[in-house]
Structure 1
Amino acid sequence: MFKFTASEIRDLFIAFVVISLCFGIANTGRNMNALLNLLPYIMVGVGLGFILHELGHKFVSMKYGYWAEFKLWPQGLLFALVTSFFGFVFAAPGAVYTYANYMTDEINGKISIAGPIVNIVLALVFLAVAVSVYPAAFTSETSLSIFIVCSMGYSINSFLAAFNLLPVGNLDGSKVMRWNIGIWIVTIAIAGIMTILSMRFGVENIVRLIIGF
C-alpha cells in the first residue's frame, strides 16, 4: 500500500517550499517584486515536478515490495539556496530512501529512472498545454496565466530531469548508467535537448515554432 509517514510529509513540504523559493530567486535575480509575482507560477511547476519525481521513485520501490520514504537533506537545501543567488539551482533537497537487504542494479536503475521520466513527461504535458492556450493568451488573462505556468513547468521539469540524470555522486544518473548505459544515454539526451532548447530559445519561441505562429 502507498503509505506516508508524518515526518515524510513534513520533509516533502519543506523541500517543496524551499526549492520553489530557490527557483524563484534564480529566475528573478533577487528582485523581490518579481519574485512575489512569479513564485505562485513557479510553485505549480516545482510542486508537480518535485513531488511527482519523488513519488515516482517511491511508487516503483514499493511496487517491488520495498519500503521507501523521502527524507530531507538540510545541507542540500542550504546549498540549493546559496546557488540560487548565482542564477542556477543545485536541486538536491533530499531523496527517497529505499530500504532493502539486497537490490539488483536493474531494480535500482528502474527505481532511479522513474523520477526523471516523470519530469520529462510532465515537461511535455506542460508544453502541449502551452501550445494549446498560446493563441488565446493575447486576449485572455486566464490563458496568459496558464501559459506562464506551463512555460515555467516545462523549463523546470526539463531541468530537473537533466540534472538528476547526471552520472555524478548519488544522483539518479549514476544508478541508471550502472543498470543500462543505453537507456541512460537516450533519457539524458532527451532531457538535455529539452533543457537546452528552453534555456537558449525560451518556451514562447518553442511554442511559436511548433504552431507556426
Structure 2
Amino acid sequence: MIKFTASEVRDLIIAFIVISLCFGIANTGRDMNALAQILPPIMVGVGLGFILHELGHKFVSMKYGYWAEFKLWPQGLLFALVTSFFGFVFAAPGAVYTYANYMTDEINGRISIAGPIVNIVLALIFLLIATWVYPTAFYSPTARLVFVICSLGYSINSFLAAFNLLPIGNLDGSKVLNWNVGIWIATIGIAGIMTLLYMTIGVENIVRLIIGF
C-alpha cells in the first residue's frame, strides 16, 4: 500500500496547479481568455502525467522496500513559470526522494525509468482515444472536447517523458543511462520520436495518418 504524508500531498497539489498553469501559459502566451479555456484540458493531461509519473517512482521505490516521498522544489517551480512565458516549460517542480542507505545503479535506474514509462504509456492511451473519437469530432461537441483533451494529454506526456530522460543533472535520464545504455537509448528514442511528431506535424495529423483519413 502506498502511503502519503500530509506535506507530500500538499506539495503534489501545489506542483500540479503551478505546472498546469505553466503549460497553459506556454500554449497561449498572455491571452487570459485562451488560458481560461485551455487550462481545464491541460490539467487533465498534466494531472495524470505529473501525478502518475511521480507515483511510478514512489511505487517502484516502495516495491524495493524503500521509503519514498515527493518534495517540492520552489526554485524549480519558479523557473518553470518564467520559461513558460517564452513558449516552453522547464518542468522541474520537485522529485520523489528515495531514502536508502545503499542502492545499486540497477535499482536506481529501475526506479528512475518508471516515471517516463508511465508518461509514454499515458501518451499512447491518449493517442488511442483521440484516434477513436476523431471521426465523430466534426459534428459532436463532446467528441471534439475529448479529442482536444487527448491531444494535449499526448503532447504533454510525450514531452514529460522525453524531458525527464535527458541525461542532465539529477533528471531520470542520468540514472537510467548509468544503469543500462541500451534501455536509455530505446526509451528516449521512443519519447523523442513521439515528441518530435507532435511538434512537427501535430496530433491531428498523426491521428489522420493512423486511420488513413
Q: TM-score w.r.t. structure 1 length?
A: 1.00
Aligned to 1:37: 37
Aligned to 1:211: 211
Extract unaligned runs of 5+ from structure 1. none
Alignment deviations for residues 145-165 of structure 1 (CA, whole Å, 9 cap, x no partner): 000000000000000000000
Deviation at 1:30, TM superposition (A): 1.6
Instruction: Tell me the SS of whatever aligns to 1:138.
Output: coil
Distance 2:56 2:94 in 1: 14
Distance 1:57 1:69 in 2: 9
Aligned to 1:100: 100
Alignment deviations for residues 46-101 of structure 1 (CA, whole Å, 9 cap, x no partner): 00000000000000000000000000000000000000000000000000000000
Extract unaligned runs of 5+ from structure 2. none
- Describe how 1:52-201 pairs up with structure 2 within 5 A: 52-201=52-201
* Aligned-pair identity (%): 84
Deviation at 1:29, TM superposition (A): 1.6
Alignment deviations for residues 167-187 of structure 1 (CA, whole Å, 9 cap, x no partner): 000000000000000000000
User: Residue 58 of structure 2 aligns to which amino acid in structure 1?
Assistant: K
Aligned to 2:24: 24
Matched length:
213
Instruction: Tell me the SS of whatever aligns to 1:89.
Output: coil
User: Residue 64 of structure 2 aligns to which amino acid in structure 1?
Assistant: Y
User: Residue 66 of structure 1 aligns to which amino acid in structure 2?
Assistant: Y
Distance 1:28 1:155 in 2: 15
Q: TM-score w.r.t. structure 2 length?
A: 1.00
Deviation at 1:133, TM superposition (A): 0.1
